[in-house]
Amino acid sequence: EVQLVESGGGLVQPGGSLRLSCAASGFKFDDYAMAWFRQAPGQERKGLSCISPLGGSPYYAHSVKGRFTIASDNANSAVTLQMNDLKPEDTAVYYCAAADPIYYSDYATEPLQSFVYDYWGQGTQVTVSS
């Protein structure tokens, strides 16, 4: 069974930090591109960052570039998202997703599109508030 399980969400004050983790199983993690998305209430799901085993620099949406960092932990089949300087507008459910890297490569210039991804986690809530 394919599983992506997010963890690390919670309540944090503005300016604080959180690290999200996504544990993967049931597929060859090292062969897949991994991404983080988020969805705020009443908003569309938006891509934040992705990383590919085929190489190249990780991709970041402008809204989080310089604050968020994606990393793969291949030994543990996990991907993390380090989030710093959190803002109230970062409040959302955060999702982990996985994509076949060959298909992903066809969208390398615009990789944060939902249809690129084959597998999705159930999400973890992040709330940024005083």
Q: 67-113, pLDDT tens digit by residue?
A: 999 999 999 999 999 999 999 999 999 999 999 878 888 888 899 99
Q: 93 is written with which tokens?
A: 């459910």
pLDDT (0 to 100) of residue 2: 94
Alpha carbons 64 and 51: distance in angstroms, whole number? 15
pLDDT in tens, 37-47: 999 999 999 99
Local confidence band at 6 (pLDDT 50, 70, 90 cut-offs): very high
pLDDT in tens, 49-60: 999 888 779 999
Range 50-59, long-range pairs (CB < 8 A, 24+ positions)? 50/99, 50/104, 50/111, 50/112, 51/79, 52/101, 52/104, 52/105, 52/108, 52/111, 53/101, 54/101, 54/104, 54/105, 56/108, 59/111, 59/112
What percentage of the chain exceeds 90 in pLDDT?
86
Alpha carbons 94 and 47: distance in angstroms, whole number? 10
Residue among 48, 38, 30 nearest 100 (CA):
30
pLDDT (0 to 100) of residue 109: 86
